[in-house]
C-alpha cells in the first residue's frame, strides 16, 4: 500500500489525480444539468437569453477565474518541485518505461494491439474521427444546451470513448501498470522480477475452432489466415448489414450512405477495441489462454 501511495503522490502523477476528480465532477455536473433540462422540457439556458454588457459582467468573471487559476498554480509550484532525475543515460532503461501520462491510454492499447495499430492507426483515427464529428452528426437538436434525451447515441458514444477508453486507461496505465507493464492491484508490490505466465493463443486456435496458426514447419496456416480474414471482415460487415436492414428509414435517407459508412466504420473500430480487450480478459478470468491475434498475415497482425 505504501508503494501505491508513493506512485499516487509522485509529482508528475498529480495531474492524473486532478483528472480523475475533475472528470468525475464534470460528468456528474453535466449530467444533472441535462436531466434538469430534459425533465422541464426546455433548457435553462433559454431563460438566460437577455443580453448583458461584457464590461463588467463577463470581464468580472474572467478576472476572478484568472486570479483563482494563478493562485492555484503558484501554490502548486511553490509546494511541489518538478521532477529532475538522473542525467539521461541510454544504457540504463528504467522498468517500466512510461510515456507522458496523456499518452498512457495509447500505451495501454499496446497490450492488446501491435504498435502499428495502437501507436499509429488509432491516434490517426481518433484525430480524424474527432474532426469528422460535426459533419456526421446530423441531429440538429441539443445545440447550445445540456441534454441527454435528444441525442442519446452521440452522448453515449462520446462519453464512452472519452471516459472509459481515454481517461480510465490513462488511470490504469499510470497507477496499475508496473515493471514489464504487468498489472498490479493498488497495494500490491511492484515486483520487477514478476513474470506473468501467459501463453497467448490466437483466436482461431481457441475452442471450438482449433485451427493452428502455424504449420508444423512454422509457415502460416492458410486455413487460419482465411479464418482470421473472415472474422475481421465479418465484423466490419455488420455496418453494411445494418444499412441493408434500415436503409429505407427516414433517418438513414437523411444521413446518406457516405456519412453512414464513416459512422459505422468509426463506431465498429471503437467497439473492436472493446472486443479485443474482452477477448483478452474473459478467457483469463475463465482460466483459459487469452487471445493474442484475431488475424495473422505475413505482413501484419490484428
Partner 1 sequence: MLEAFKKTEVYKSIFRHSYQDTQRNRALQIVDNVFLHLHPVRVPRHATNIGYTWGMGGITFLLFLVLTITGIILMFYYRPTAQYAYEDMKYLMNDVPFGPLIRNMHRWAAHAMVLTVMLHMFRVFLTGSYKPPRQFNWVVGVILLVLTLLLSFSGYLLPWDQLAIWAVTVGTNMARATPLLGHEGPFGPELGMMPDNDVRFVLLGGTEVGPPTLLRFYVGHCIFLPIIAAIFMAVHFWRVRKDGGISGPETPKKT
- Subset of residues 67 to 96 that bind partner 1, contact rule: CB under 8 A: 69-70, 73-74, 76-78, 80-90, 92-94
Cα angle: 136, vertex 137, 143; to 5 degrees: 145
The one-character DSSP state at 214 is B
3-state secondary structure 98-160: CCCHHHHHHHHHCCCCCHHHHHHHHHHHHHHHHHHHHHHCCCCCCCCCCCCHHHHHHHHHHHH
Nearest distance in Å: CB 227, partner 1: 20
- How is residue 243 written as a grid cell? 444499412
- How is residue 229 written as a grid cell? 480474414
The one-character DSSP state at 209 is T
Our finding on whether 186 is near partner 1 (CB under 8 A) is no
Taking contact as CB under 8 A, which single stretch among the options 40-48, 184-192, 194-202, 208-216 is the one that binds partner 1?
40-48
Find the binding residues for partner 1 in span 41-70 (CB under 8 A): 41-59, 61-62, 65-66, 69-70
Place of cell 493562485: 71
Choice from 112, 146, 227, 295 touching partner 1 (CB under 8 A): 146
- By CB under 8 A, the count of residues binding partner 1 is 96
Find the binding residues for partner 1 in span 162-181 (CB under 8 A): 162, 166
Residue 102: alpha-carbon gap to chain centroid = 11
Nearest distance in Å: CB 287, partner 1: 32
Integer Cα distance of 103 and 120 in angstroms: 12
Closest C-alpha to 186, from 169, 170, 172: 172
Q: Which is nearer to partner 1, 115 or 187 (CB)?
A: 115
Taking contact as CB under 8 A, which single stretch among the options 28-36, 189-197, 241-249, 278-286 is the one that binds partner 1?
28-36
- How is residue 88 written as a grid cell? 539521461
Nearest distance in Å: CB 132, partner 1: 9
Choice from 5, 9, 22, 212 touching partner 1 (CB under 8 A): 22
Q: Which is nearer to partner 1, 138 or 278 (CB)?
A: 138
Q: Which is nearer to partner 1, 291 or 302 (CB)?
A: 302
Our finding on whether 21 is near partner 1 (CB under 8 A) is no
Nearest distance in Å: CB 123, partner 1: 8
CB of 139 closer than 8 Å to CB of 154: yes
Amino acid at each position: 500500500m505504501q508503494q501505491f501511495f508513493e506512485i499516487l503522490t509522485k509529482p508528475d502523477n498529480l495531474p492524473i489525480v486532478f483528472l480523475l476528480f475533475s472528470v468525475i465532477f464534470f460528468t456528474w455536473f453535466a449530467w444533472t444539468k441535462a436531466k434538469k433540462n430534459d425533465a422541464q422540457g426546455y433548457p435553462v439556458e433559454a431563460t438566460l437569453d437577455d443580453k448583458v454588457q461584457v464590461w463588467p459582467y463577463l470581464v468580472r468573471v474572467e478576472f476572478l477565474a484568472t486570479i483563482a487559476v494563478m493562485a492555484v498554480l503558484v501554490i502548486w509550484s511553490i509546494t511541489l518541485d518538478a521532477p529532475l532525475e538522473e542525467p539521461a543515460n541510454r544504457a540504463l532503461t528504467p522498468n517500466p518505461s512510461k510515456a507522458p501520462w496523456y499518452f498512457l491510454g495509447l500505451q495501454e492499447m499496446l497490450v492488446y494491439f501491435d504498435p502499428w495499430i495502437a501507436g499509429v492507426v488509432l491516434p490517426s483515427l481518433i484525430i480524424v474521427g474527432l474532426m469528422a464529428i460535426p459533419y456526421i452528426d446530423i441531429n440538429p437538436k441539443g445545440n447550445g444546451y445540456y441534454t441527454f434525451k435528444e441525442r442519446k447515441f452521440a452522448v453515449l458514444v462520446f462519453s464512452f470513448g472519452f471516459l472509459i477508453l481515454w481517461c480510465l486507461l490513462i488511470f490504469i496505465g499510470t497507477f496499475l501498470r508496473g515493471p514489464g507493464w504487468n498489472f498490479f492491484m493498488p497495494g500490491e508490490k511492484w515486483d520487477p522480477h514478476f513474470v506473468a505466465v501467459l501463453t497467448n493463443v490466437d483466436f482461431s486456435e481457441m475452442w471450438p475452432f482449433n485451427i493452428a496458426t502455424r504449420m508444423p514447419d512454422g509457415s502460416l496456416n492458410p486455413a487460419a489466415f482465411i479464418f482470421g480474414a473472415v472474422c475481421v471482415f465479418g465484423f466490419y460487415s455488420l455496418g453494411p448489414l445494418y444499412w441493408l436492414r434500415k436503409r429505407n428509414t427516414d433517418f438513414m435517407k437523411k444521413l446518406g450512405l457516405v456519412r453512414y459508412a464513416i459512422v459505422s466504420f468509426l463506431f465498429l473500430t471503437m467497439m473492436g477495441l472493446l472486443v479485443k480487450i474482452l477477448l483478452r480478459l474473459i478467457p483469463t478470468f475463465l482460466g483459459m489462454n487469452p487471445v493474442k491475434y484475431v488475424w495473422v498475415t505475413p505482413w501484419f497482425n490484428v
